[in-house]
Structure 1
Amino acid sequence: MPKIIFQEADGTRIEVEAPVGKTIMEAARDSNVPGIDADCGGALACATCHCYFSDDQIGMLPAKSASEEDMINFANAEVKDGSRLSCQISITQDMDGWVVQVPDTQ
């Protein structure tokens, strides 16, 4: 099972076992990762699972849908090039060891 490391804005790291096929948001929510609120439960109706991904990681992810692009503009934290909604990213085995940055606010 892949392990995803969530890095909080203060540098704290939380390592989570993440089942393939679940979303990154589900893995964070199910492991009580602080800073991933997931208010809408993954329905793409909020931006409280906003995370930052590295350039290398972004290149391995599917493109943002128009709906995700629209919704991410509602994020409370700064939107950056690596900004994605973690509810829209399904976990694959290739993500083992990935570090996902959690914004300082949702």
Structure 2
Amino acid sequence: MDQIDTADFDKVDVRAGTVVDAQAFPEARKPAIKLWVDFGPGLGVRQSSAQLTAHYTPDRLIGRQVVAVVNFPPRRIAGFESQVLVLGLPDENGAVVLLRPDIKVPDGGRMF
């Protein structure tokens, strides 16, 4: 993989936010959940589509803090505008496991 420098890393805006709503997304090609994530006063609530159904249900995501890239351009997924990329890692079977702070942090806090 190519190495990057600090200036490249600084271009990626990764923030913490709290899921305020989550709904099943049956219209998506692959099983997914629609998320609405509150990133605090500066960014507000942004929406995302995430393929999280192996380990998460919509009702168990509400109130959970997540980490997301907030400065990618929006993407349309089955008519839904995904505005941020919620970050995760694959488990041993390739299913998404969410990244999240292990201690509550202010919504909108930027990763450094």
Compute the TM-score of the two structures, normalised by the length of structure 1.
0.25
Q: Which has the higher contact order (CA 8 A, sep 6+)?
A: 1
Which structure: greater strand fraction?
Answer: 2
Which structure: greater helix fraction?
Answer: 1
Give the structure with higher Rg (CA). 2
